[in-house]
Amino acid sequence: MPNMEFQLGLALPTPNIIMGFDLNNHGLDHLKDIGGFSGKSKRSFEQAFGKFKQECKTKTLLLWSGQPNEEEDQKDQKKTTFSTIDENDAEEVDQVVGWPPIKTWRKKMFQQQHRVCRIENNRVAGKDNGRSIYVKVKMEGVAITRKVDLRLYHSYQTLTNSLITVFAKDKKCADDDYTRYILTYQDKEGDWLIAGDIPWQNFIRSVQRLKIVRNWS
Amino acid sequence: MQKKMAYSFPDEVLEHVFSFIQSVKDRNAVSTVCKSWYEIERWCRRKVFIGNCYAVSPRMVINRFPEVRSIELKGKPHFADFNLVPDGWGGYVLPWIVEMAGAYPWLEEIRLKRMVVTDESLELIAKSFKNFKVLVLFSCEGFSTDGLAAIASGCKSLRELDLRESEVDDLSGHWLTHFPETCTSLVSLNISCLGSDEVSFSALERLVGRCPNLRSLRLNRAVTLDKIANILRSAPQLVDFGTGNYAAELRPDVLSNLVGAFSSCKELKSLSGFWDVVPAYLPALYSVCSRLTSLNLSYATIQSPEIIKLVSHCPSLQHLLVLDYIEDSGLEALASSCKDLQELRVFPSDPFGAELNVSLTEQGLVAVSLGCPKLQSVLYFCRRMTNAALVTIAQNCPNFTRFRLCIIEPKTADYLTLEPLDVGFGAIVEHCKDLKRLSLSGLLTDRVFEYIGTYAKKLEMLSVAFAGDSDLGLHHVLSGCESLRKLEIRDCPFGDKALLANAAKLETMRSLWMSSCTVSFGACKLLGQKMPRLNVEVIDEADPPDSRPESCPVDKLYVYRSVSGPRFDMPPFVWTMDEERKILH
């Protein structure tokens, strides 16, 4: 080969050779078919693909909002574990490894900042009236009712993050992997409403109890 | 045949001509013209770039280029940034340092990215290279402040020490005191990645004070706001400054001191840092803002109104990194204030939250694409997108070179039409003819890959996640993207057929990463066997791949071209498929 001594220059195969080099039949025979992807070979390739559908083996994402979930591959169960967030803990909640694609040091920063936020909100709450707001939280399918102090949170998503953590410990993961849930609450007038419509501050002033229900729609 | 023509140039003349050719690509081209040019070029090559440290061995590099002064090496695959590459995979720089210590006593510059650097390596650098000037450790790990101390004390003419985004073990905060009083040569110092206690501030102040050529200084979070003013006053020539913590109780004297300090820096063009920002201190920056070309607010948890106020003072802004607190309204303000904007990166403030916490949507990006004609590079995290928005963006910005969109929830469809986002991304590749880098997200079928294969002829790097329906998708990319160098794929239904059909293509690329796809172990073995110039690495932390049937998919696959054969520093969970049907370990 003419480029042997140019050890750092990997010679580019010509486009023709690339096109014809198909290892699907252990390849080298097809070097005869050099000529690029003419209409003929393209058709045969598509023929091979026509009925070839592969199952999408993506991870389950346990979601609170209404996105469809995929079949979970049993082998990959370990990848969709919950890490618990303790209020004081440094663990991250990774629903899927490496997604969204954010560098590790940035993720750590977000967690620190959210914790600071929570701590600050506690301090602020302390200045306001100092009293916790404990409400009962019931989850459909779980026998035990919990109680949470709404003063610890400053937004719907920090509340739902924590509820995921709390209830993940209580129910078996394997059961309800593809079920979607909605957070609902009972207001001062006794009506049951979907959480999230009104600003957070108004919400914590009117909520009496919380219920996490399955969303069948 | 070497025929000396009467009119051929003497070697020295050619060498002189070649000295004007600095770019690595051009140098490589020059070296392939003929044997004598190859010879001359290799003797006068001063700078080497190795995009994959396993593509070639140190000895091969040294044999070919005996007079190198500057080397750049990259180690782990890009997905290592997101924890997809297990610890211990590789990317060790020590073997390179050991070989270069003997062969390149006059080495001046080492730039590393995603490599494992040990204190031993750093000590060896400090000891071996008498004229060492530049050390850049980008996203590296494995070393401590002890190693930094060795660099500080050993490298007498150090100009650049840049630790950007690296992970450093904090053993002692006093490594900075190891810079001798005679060290006055620093031009650039970036310690922004260091943890809380790793900086002796008085040593830092003295160091900054005695380096009149210091142009770039990025502090770490431990440096408090009250210290900034003194630092700036002792280095008014700074062009690039990264603050530490930007929070303190508002005190008028501190504020006015800061205002004065910033206004004394007439050359300042780039700002970063801003951890824990107290908005009341932002006006201190206003004197700098009119000249500012680069602003990194991606650690700053300030809300949209404050961001808008700041950004509207920066008409010359070219690069902005910011959190999604900027919201659509902030991006609209950006679009009307910053007409020179070239690069925008919007990071998510609450990526794991189940709900929207900020009002940042596709509209913000559309606004910027409309208002900023020079926009070339985008990294955008958001929660919803439409094909229509993408088409508009593509039409507004045909000059995109980098477009990376991350819709946080995988497989999110166009929220208005509920269709896949194939057409939108198709418009991006069709209109942006110079697109070099693309990251996809959202609901995508094989169709988007057909568009990419058809139009993205200049595309060099493609990142794909949770996309596609079948091998046809992968085939479109591998057979259509002529300039493709790096392809990284996760969680896509791509398997053996496309990979094997395009095996030769892989030799024209730097690397291919596929994880959680459906490539079988048998196909990996075949690829490794038939393609001797490819290293086919199977990564599986659970079980050895041959403990299961050959048709079972492998967990992670990393394929890269190499002229030095399989590596031998692999951990137990990495196997290389060898041409002699051996599975090396």
| Average pLDDT score over residue span B204-220 | 96
| Average pLDDT score over residue span B500-514 | 97
The conformation of residue B578, written as its DSSP 8-state character, comes to P
CB spacing of A97 vs B471 below 8 angstroms = no
Q: Does residue B102 or residue A56 have the better pLDDT?
A: B102
Nearest-Cα residue of chain A relative to residue B299: A109
Q: Where residue A132 falls among pLDDT bands split at 50, 70, 90?
A: confident
Residue with tokens 């208002």: B371
Q: Is the ipTM of this complex over 0.95?
A: no
Task: Calculate how close chain A gets to B508, using CA atoms only, in Å.
Answer: 6
pLDDT for the residue numbered A21 = 63
Who's near B452: CB < 8 A, 6+ residues apart?
B425, B426, B429, B438, B459, B462, B476, B477, B480, B481
CB spacing of A103 vs B165 below 8 angstroms = yes
Q: Where residue A71 falls among pLDDT bands split at 50, 70, 90?
A: very low
Angle at B26 between CA B23 and CA B27, to 5 degrees: 85
**Among the listed residues B55, B79, B74, the one whose alpha carbon sits nearest the alpha carbon of residue B488:** B79
In whole angstroms, give the CA distance from residue B585 to residue B572: 7
pLDDT for the residue numbered B126 = 97
pLDDT for the residue numbered A42 = 39
User: Residue B313: pLDDT above 70?
Assistant: yes
What are the pLDDT digits (tens) for B274-307?
998 889 999 999 999 999 999 999 999 899 999 9
Q: Where residue A139 falls among pLDDT bands split at 50, 70, 90?
A: confident
Who's near A115: CB < 8 A, 6+ residues apart?
A87, A88
What are the pLDDT digits (tens) for B27-43?
999 999 999 999 999 99
CB spacing of B504 vs A13 below 8 angstroms = yes
What are the pLDDT digits (tens) for B63-118?
999 999 999 999 999 999 999 999 999 999 999 999 999 999 999 999 999 999 99
Q: Does residue B301 or residue A54 have the better pLDDT?
A: B301
Window from A154-158, B284-288, B430-434, B537-541 with minimum mean pLDDT = A154-158
Mean pLDDT over each residue of chain A, to the nearest integer: 60
Q: Where residue A141 falls among pLDDT bands split at 50, 70, 90?
A: confident
What are the pLDDT digits (tens) for B430-454?
999 999 999 999 999 999 999 999 9
pLDDT for the residue numbered A210 = 92
Which residue type sits at B491? Answer: D
- Contact residues on chain B for A112, CB-CB shorter than 8 A: none
pLDDT for the residue numbered A164 = 78
- Contact residues on chain B for A94, CB-CB shorter than 8 A: 352
Q: Does residue B356 or residue A163 have the better pLDDT?
A: A163
Please tell me if residue A88 touches chain B, with a CB cutoff of 8 Å.
Answer: no
Q: Where residue A25 falls among pLDDT bands split at 50, 70, 90?
A: low
| Average pLDDT score over residue span A189-216 | 86
pLDDT for the residue numbered A44 = 36
- Percent of chain A scoring above 90 in pLDDT: 5
Who's near B121: CB < 8 A, 6+ residues apart?
B93, B94, B97, B143, B147
Q: Where residue A171 falls among pLDDT bands split at 50, 70, 90?
A: low
Greatest pairwise CA separation for chain B in angstroms: 79
Task: Calculate how close chain B gets to A136, using CA atoms only, in Å.
Answer: 21
pLDDT for the residue numbered A217 = 59
Judge residue A16's burial from the number of C-beta atoms within 10 Å of its C-beta, 0-12 exposed, 13-18 middle, 19 or more buried. middle
CB spacing of A8 vs B500 below 8 angstroms = no
The conformation of residue A22, written as its DSSP 8-state character, comes to B
Size of interface A-B (CB pairs under 8 A): 181
**Among the listed residues B167, B46, B61, the one whose alpha carbon sits nearest the alpha carbon of residue B115:** B167
Residue with tokens 């985008």: B378
- Dihedral Cα B365, B370, B376, B382, nearest 10 deg: 0
In whole angstroms, give the CA distance from residue B115 to residue B117: 6
Residue with tokens 């609901």: B443
Structure tokens at B28: 């490589």
CB of B265 within 8 A of CB of A77?
no
Q: Does residue A100 or residue A27 have the better pLDDT?
A: A100
Greatest pairwise CA separation for chain A in angstroms: 86
In whole angstroms, give the CA distance from residue B400 to residue B260: 39
User: Residue B385: pLDDT above 90?
Assistant: yes
What SS3 class is residue B121?
A: helix
What are the two backbone dihedrals, phi and then psi, of residue B371, each rounded to the nearest 5 degrees? -90, -15
Can you point out the beta strands (E) in B352-495? Answer: 377-382, 402-407, 437-439, 461-465, 486-490
What are the pLDDT digits (tens) for B231-247?
999 999 999 999 998 98
- Contact residues on chain A for B79, CB-CB shorter than 8 A: 98
CB spacing of B471 vs A54 below 8 angstroms = yes
| Average pLDDT score over residue span A15-38 | 47
| Average pLDDT score over residue span B117-146 | 97
Q: Where residue B351 falls among pLDDT bands split at 50, 70, 90?
A: confident
Q: How many CB atoms lie within 10 A of CB B79?
A: 20
Q: Where residue A65 falls among pLDDT bands split at 50, 70, 90?
A: very low
